[in-house]
Chain A
Amino acid sequence: MTSLPAQVPGQKKLGLVIDLDTCVGCQACATSCKEWNTQGYSAPLNDRNAYGASPEGTWLNRIHGYEVKAAEDEQSRIVHFPRSCLHCEEPACVTVCPTGASYKRAEDGIVLVNPETCIGCKLCSWACPYGAREYDYDDGVMKKCTLCVDRIYNKNFAEEDRIPACVKACPTGARHFGDLGDAESKVSRLVAERQGYDLLPEMGYKPVNKYLPPRKRSNEKLKAASAESEIKSDGKSRVEDFFRWADRLLSR
Chain B
Amino acid sequence: MPRMTQPKIDTSLKTWDEIKTTTCYMCACRCGIKVYLKDGTVKYIEGNRDHPVNKGVICGKGASGIMQHYSPARLSKPMLRVGERGAGEFREIEWEEALTLATTWLKKVRAEDPKRLAFFTGRDQSQGLTGWWATQFGTPNYAAHGGFCSVNMAAAGLYTFGGSFWEFGEPDWKHTKYFLLFGVAEDHASNPIKIGLGKLKERGVKIVSINPVRTGYSAIADEWIGIRPGTDGLFAGALIHELLRNQKIDLDYLARYTNAAWLVIRNPGGADDGTFARNANGEPLIYDAVIGRPLSAHRADTSPKLVGEVILVDGRRAVPSFMLVAERFLADDYSPAKVAEACGIPADTIRRIATELARTAFEEELCLNIGWRDWAGRIHDKMIGRPVSMYAMRGISAHSNGFQTCRTLHLLQIILGTIDVPGGFRYRPPFPKPAPPGIKPAGKPGQVKPNTALPGPPLGFVAAPEDLLIDAEGTPQRIDKAYSWEAPLAAHGMMHTVIANAAKRDPYGIDVLFLYMANMSWNSAMNVTETTGHLTAKDEKTGDYVIPHIIYSDAYASEMVHYADLILPDTTYLERWDCISLLDRPISEADGPADAIRQPVTEPDRDVRPFQTVLLDLGARLGLTGMTNEDGTPRYPGGYEDYIVNHERSPGVGPLAGWRGKEGVFHGRGEPNPKQLERYIENGCHWFYELPDHVKYYRHANRDYLEWATSFGFIGKPEPIVFQLYLEPLQKFRLAALGHGAIVPPPVHRERILTYFDPLPGWYEPIEESLRDKTEYPLHAITQRPMAMYHSWGSQNAWLRQILGRNWLYLARSRGEAMGLQDGDWVHVTSATSRIKVQVKLMDGVNPHTVWTWNAIGKRSGAWALTPDAPEAKKGFLLNHLIAELLPERDGGYRYSNSDPVTGQAAWYDLRVRIEKAEDEPQMSAPQFPVLTGFKGVAGRRRRV
Q: Mark B917-945, 1 if CB is under 8 A from A, else 0.
A: 00000000000000000000100001011
CB-CB under 8 A for A246 and B306, given A21-B220, A230-B351: yes
Question: Does B49 belong to the interface (CB within 8 Å)?
Answer: yes
B194 partner, pick from A172, A242, A246, beta carbons under 8 A: A172
Q: In the docked arrangement, what's the CA distance between A98 and B307, Å?
A: 85
A52, B867: Cβ atoms closer than 8 Å:
yes
Q: How many A-B residue pairs have CB under 8 A?
A: 284
Binds A, one of B86-94, B121-129, B221-229, B609-617: B221-229
B contact residues around A246 at 8 Å (CB):
247, 251, 306-307, 322, 326
Q: In the docked arrangement, what's the CA distance between A112 and B252, Å?
A: 64
Say what secondary structure dominates the interface of chain A.
loop
B326 partner, pick from A19, A77, A239, beta carbons under 8 A: A239
Q: In the docked arrangement, what's the CA distance between A49 and B340, Å?
A: 51
B220, A23: Cβ atoms closer than 8 Å:
yes
Q: In the docked arrangement, what's the CA distance between A94 and B167, Å?
A: 49
B802 partner, pick from A39, A55, A106, beta carbons under 8 A: A55
Question: Does B836 belong to the interface (CB within 8 Å)?
Answer: no
Q: Mark B333-362, 1 if CB is under 8 A from A, else 0.
A: 001110000000001110110011001000
Question: Does B269 belong to the interface (CB within 8 Å)?
Answer: no
Across the two chains, which residue of chain B brings its CB closest to A27? B60
- Tell me how far the C-beta of A247 lies from the nearest C-beta in chain B, rounded to whole angstroms: 5
Q: In the docked arrangement, what's the CA distance between A56 and B870, Å?
A: 13
- Tell me how far the C-beta of A73 lies from the nearest C-beta in chain B, rounded to whole angstroms: 10
B contact residues around A71 at 8 Å (CB):
none
Q: Mark A71-112, 1 if CB is under 8 A from B, else 0.
A: 000011111100000000000000000001001011000001
A149 partner, pick from B9, B308, B352, beta carbons under 8 A: B9
Q: In the docked arrangement, what's the CA distance between A31 and B26, Å?
A: 13
List which B252-310 residues lie within 8 A (CB) of chain A.
252, 255-256, 261, 286, 289-290, 299-308
Question: Does A6 belong to the interface (CB within 8 Å)?
Answer: no
A250, B304: Cβ atoms closer than 8 Å:
yes
B contact residues around A171 at 8 Å (CB):
54, 57-59, 190-191, 194-195, 198
Q: In the docked arrangement, what's the CA distance between A118 and B219, Å?
A: 40
A28, B845: Cβ atoms closer than 8 Å:
no
Across the two chains, which residue of chain A brings its CB closest to B788? A27
A26 partner, pick from B194, B337, B942, beta carbons under 8 A: B194
B contact residues around A165 at 8 Å (CB):
46
Q: In the docked arrangement, what's the CA distance between A160 and B199, Å?
A: 19
List which A183-242 residues lie within 8 A (CB) of chain B.
214, 217, 219, 222-223, 225-226, 228, 230-231, 234-235, 238-239, 241-242
Question: Does B803 belong to the interface (CB within 8 Å)?
Answer: yes
Chain B interface, number of residues (Cβ within 8 angstroms): 116
Question: Does B406 belong to the interface (CB within 8 Å)?
Answer: no
Q: In the docked arrangement, what's the CA distance between A36 and B945, Å?
A: 11
- Tell me how far the C-beta of A250 lies from the nearest C-beta in chain B, rounded to whole angstroms: 4
Q: In the docked arrangement, what's the CA distance between A154 and B332, Å?
A: 66
B355, A35: Cβ atoms closer than 8 Å:
no
A173, B15: Cβ atoms closer than 8 Å:
no
A226, B355: Cβ atoms closer than 8 Å:
yes
B contact residues around A77 at 8 Å (CB):
214, 219, 224, 845
A38 partner, pick from B218, B255, B945, beta carbons under 8 A: B945
Across the two chains, which residue of chain A brings its CB closest to B299? A252
Question: Does B316 belong to the interface (CB within 8 Å)?
Answer: no
Across the two chains, which residue of chain A brings its CB closest to B61? A31
Chain A interface, number of residues (Cβ within 8 angstroms): 93
A41 partner, pick from B13, B255, B359, beta carbons under 8 A: B13
Residue among A23, A31, A222 with most chain B CB within 10 A = A31
Q: In the docked arrangement, what's the CA distance between A157 and B772, Å?
A: 60
Q: In the docked arrangement, what's the CA distance between A217 and B209, Å?
A: 13
Question: Does A122 belong to the interface (CB within 8 Å)?
Answer: no
Question: Does B323 belong to the interface (CB within 8 Å)?
Answer: yes
Q: In the docked arrangement, what's the CA distance between A59 and B15, Å?
A: 20
Binds A, one of B102-110, B709-717, B793-801: B793-801
Question: Does B787 belong to the interface (CB within 8 Å)?
Answer: yes
B contact residues around A225 at 8 Å (CB):
351-352, 355-356, 359
CB<8 Å pairs between A and B, sample of 10: A3-B3, A26-B788, A27-B787, A32-B46, A51-B801, A75-B224, A226-B349, A239-B331, A243-B307, A250-B255
Q: A residues engaging B (CB < 8 A)? A: 1, 3, 5, 19, 21-28, 30-32, 34-36, 38-41, 43-44, 47, 50-57, 59, 65, 67, 69, 75-80, 100, 103, 105-106, 112, 114, 116-117, 149-150, 152-156, 160-161, 165, 168-174, 214, 217, 219, 222-223, 225-226, 228, 230-231, 234-235, 238-239, 241-243, 245-252
The 5 A-B pairs at the shortest CB distance, nearest first, are namely A27-B60, A76-B844, A226-B352, A171-B194, A172-B198
Given contact pairs A38-B945, A171-B191, A235-B331, a sample of 8 additional A-B residue pairs in the complex whose CB atoms are under 8 Å apart: A1-B4, A34-B799, A47-B798, A75-B844, A226-B349, A226-B352, A228-B351, A247-B306
Q: B residues engaging A (CB < 8 A)? A: 3-7, 9-15, 36, 43-47, 49, 54, 56-64, 66, 72, 186, 190-191, 194-195, 197-199, 201-202, 214-220, 222-224, 226, 244-245, 247, 251-252, 255-256, 261, 286, 289-290, 299-308, 322-323, 326-327, 330-332, 335-337, 347-349, 351-352, 355-356, 359, 376, 787-788, 796, 798-803, 805, 843-845, 865-867, 869-871, 874, 937, 942, 944-945
